[in-house]
Amino acid sequence: MKRKKLGEAKGYLYIFPWIIGFLMFQLIPLVNSFRYSLTDIKLGGEYQFIGIENYIRMFTEDVDLFNSMWVTIKYIIMVVPAKLIFALIVAMILSMKIKGIRIFRTMYYLPSILGGSVAISALWRVMFMKSGIINNLIGTDINWLGDPKYALFTIGLIDIWQFGSSMVLFFAALKQVPRDLYEAAQIDGAGKVKVFFKVTLPLISPVMLFNIVMQTINALQNYTSAYVVTGGGPLKSTNIMALKIYEDAFVKSDLGYASAESWLLFIFLLCLSGFIFFTSKYWVFYSDGGGK
Amino acid sequence: MKKKKYIRWCSFILITVIGICMIYPLVWMFFASFKTNEEINLAVNLLPEHFDWSGFIKGWDSSGQYTFTDFFINTFVIVVPTVLFTVISCTVVAYGFARFSFKGNKLLFGVMLSTLMVPNAVLIIPRYLLFRDFGWLDSYMPFWMPALFACYPFFIYQEVQFLRGIPKELDEAAKIDGCNSFQILTRILIPILKPSMISICIFQTIWTWNDFMNPLIYINSVSKYPLSLALRMGLDVAASTNWNEIMSMACVSILPLVIMFFCLQKYFVEGIASSGLKG
């Protein structure tokens, strides 16, 4: 009995750093964030409790906020499916035991490592200039970064370009699909397309779920490219939520209001992932009968 | 049979083409840093007419007062302790979660995982105010301290999964041989955990190296700027004129990551595959 107690104490001792870190850098900030969202706190000076005024202001006065939410939603709808489709196609081709697989893996994975950096955002600004290499290469005269129609797409390309990590996950999942299942399906006369939808896709659906959730969270958090490449413009067409929250907080010094906005983003993320998990019941297939 | 070969060839060509599109911007960036500004703007050729090093020399000097030597040193001063603290604290915490049964183990583990869902935007404002009260603004403490206190649930999760795959009999045997619980961790488990720890180091290096939002908020004096802020400053100052300087510095700033990637490729792939798939 005493030894068990000692073991328990040791367990707490080992996770102690995390408990401190969790309280100090996660739980307390989270609670404070909500508290601040009910105040008119600015970067300096006193502040007072103003109830849900910030939230009312969000829904009644702030037109930019609706724009930012809509831009964020458009961004997710554009980036997440494109990224996953590319990742899946390439992973499937690579799993056909093609020669030079290591070189391909390197080529596809390298952008994922560098894509989040300011260096790549700078590169995008140079490549997509009106007189830049992209227009010269494909012979167009599009104002990629200056035209509200194209700006969000151009930024989204940076994100889509980083499909490498999803690809590696798909690749690992595809390797685990038992060969005899394919053979059995072929003997039963199923065509390639049917095999893909009836055998491959269900078997990798858990990884698909993981990728969708992770990529959605990533897309929501993306910030560097919008800030560096376009700065939210032109005409706020790339002013995604993360950027708006930053500007309201640290440029306009309106910390209380920005906190309220961040809670809107948080609740949106929770609803979205809740929705994804809810629907996953119908399309995710666990080969061991579920329940992990 | 012929049809099968045909499909293989098409697929091969397809992924080669996509692969070239993937890598082209990076190759272009490399060569652009040797080009003159007019060439960057107008020429379609990938290779520069002649290799011109002036972009590197001028770009490195940056504003003059602080050069990229300073920015590189700053980046290392941020990254190295952050990575070391992360890997040590996460390993210890993961050991606690994976090997000890205490009240609330499962609950706390669940709480830890759920913090993954909290977006950065929610935490950044209260953290800023907290660090201001601590007097940590314009220092590197906001990077080091969360690392020291294991605020990276994803890494802890990855190591817990890895530890659960190591048979407990090993611990028991070591205990009989007279190891205490800490020695079991350092002598028995850490050598086995090494691949997982290396992959944590790699990812934490990349994230911290590329991090832009946190330095932007916490660091305000140029003397303490890491590379990400220095590049961004260059973009502001140059105002669409000195593209070759910006491209050369962009190249230089990601070069260490590229080298690391080629040296440690094996761990990259293992890291993603193991952290993402188990569980």
The Cα A78–Cα A110 span in angstroms is 22
Q: How confident is the model at residue B11 (pLDDT cuts 50, 70, 90)?
A: confident
The ipTM estimated for the assembled molecules is: 0.89
Per-residue b/e over B208-225, b at no fewer than 16 CB within 10 Å?
bbbbbbbbbbbbeebebb
pLDDT tier for residue B272 given thresholds of 50, 70 and 90 = low
User: Cα separation of B153 and B148, whole Å?
Assistant: 13
Task: List the alpha helices (DSSP H) in chain B.
Answer: 2-32, 37-42, 54-61, 68-99, 105-114, 120-134, 141-148, 153-164, 169-176, 181-183, 190-210, 213-218, 227-238, 243-263, 265-277
Alpha-carbon distances of B91 from A102, B94, B106, rounded to whole Å: 30, 5, 18
pLDDT at B92: 96
Q: Do A86 and B18 touch (CB under 8 A)?
A: yes
Residue B215 binned pLDDT confidence (cut-offs 50, 70, 90): very high
Look at residue A199 in the predicted model and tell me its pLDDT. 85
- pLDDT for the residue numbered A291: 41
Question: B239 pLDDT band (50/70/90 cuts)?
Answer: low
**Taking a C-beta distance cutoff of 8 angstroms, is the pair A205, A284 a contact?**
yes
Q: Select the residue of A30, A111, A172 nearest B118 (Cβ to Cβ).
A: A30
Q: How far A23 CA lies from chain B's nearest CA (Å)? A: 10
Question: Which residue in the block uniquely carries the two structure tokens 């690809």?
Answer: A167
Residue B155 has pLDDT above 70, yes or no: yes
Interface test with B, best of A5, A8, A12, A15 (most B CBs within 10 A): A15
Within 8 A of B213 by CB-CB distance, chain A residues are: 223-224, 246
As a whole number of angstroms, the distance between CA B132 and CA B135 comes to 5
pLDDT of residue A263: 96
Residue A49, SS3 per DSSP: strand
Asked if B272 and A165 come within 8 Å (Cβ–Cβ), the reply is: yes
Check CB contact under 8 Å for B273 and A259: no
pLDDT at B58: 84
> What is the average pLDDT across B254-263?
92
- pLDDT of res. A292: 39
CA distance B5 to chain A (A): 12
Write down the pLDDT at residue B50. 82
CB B11 within 8 A of CB A98: yes
Rg, chain A, Cα only: 24
Taking the C-alpha atoms of residue A51 and residue A45, their distance in angstroms, rounded to an integer, is 19
Cis peptide before A234 (omega within 30 of 0): yes
Lowest model confidence (mean pLDDT) among A205-209, B129-133, B223-227, B272-276:
B272-276
- DSSP track, B186-216: IIIIHHHHHHHHHHHHHHHHHHHHH--HHHH
Residue A268's H or E segment, with its range, is helix A255-283
Contact assessment for residue A116 and residue A196, using Cβ atoms and an 8 Å cutoff? no
Distance from CA of B67 to the nearest CA of A (A): 17
Full set of structural domains in chain A with CATH: 63-283 (1.10.3720.10)
Selection from B60, B66, B67 nearest residue B249 by Cα: B60
B123: chain A residues, CB-CB within 8 Å = 25-26, 29-30, 33
C-beta separation of A262 from A33 below 8 A: yes
User: How far apart (Å, rounded) are the C-alpha atoms in residues B112 and B98?
Assistant: 13
From the list B43, B117, B231, the residue facing A269 with the nearest CB is B117
Chain A CB contacts of B119 under 8 Å are: 217, 220-221, 242, 262, 265-266, 269
Q: Please answer yes or no on whether A262 and B121 come within 8 Å at the CB atom.
A: yes
From first to last of the 292 residues of chain A, give the pLDDT tens digit. 566 677 788 899 999 999 999 999 999 999 999 999 999 999 887 889 998 999 999 999 888 999 999 999 999 999 999 999 999 999 998 888 777 788 888 888 899 999 889 999 999 998 998 888 888 888 888 889 989 999 999 999 999 999 988 998 898 889 888 888 888 888 888 888 888 888 888 889 989 998 998 899 889 888 899 999 988 888 889 999 999 999 999 999 999 999 999 999 999 999 999 999 899 888 888 765 544 3
Q: Is residue A130 a contact partner of residue A52, using CB atoms and an 8 Å limit? A: no
| DSSP conformational letter for B115 | G
Dihedral angle, C-alpha A13, A19, A25, A31, nearest 10 °: -160
Nearest to A104 among B15, B119, B210 (CB): B15
- Out of A17, A173, A262, the one facing B150 most closely (by C-beta) is A17
Query: The whole model's pTM is what?
Result: 0.90
The C-alpha atoms of residue B276 and residue B274 are separated, in whole angstroms, by 6
Asked if B210 contacts A116 with a C-beta cutoff of 8 angstroms, the reply is: yes
Contact A13 B96 (CB under 8 A): yes
DSSP assignment, residue B92?
H
CA distance A108 to chain B (A): 6
At residue A47's C-alpha, the angle toward residues A46 and A52, to 5°, is 175
Q: CATH number of the domain at B56-277, please? A: 1.10.3720.10
Biggest CA–CA distance in chain A, Å, is 78
Measured between CB atoms, which of A21, A223, A258 is closest to B150? A21
Q: Verify whether the Cβ–Cβ distance B122 to A262 is below 8 Å.
A: yes
User: Quick one: average pLDDT of B146-168?
Assistant: 91
- Rounded mean pLDDT of B3-14? 84
- pLDDT tens across B27-82, in order? 999 999 998 887 887 777 788 888 888 888 888 887 778 899 999 999 999 999 99
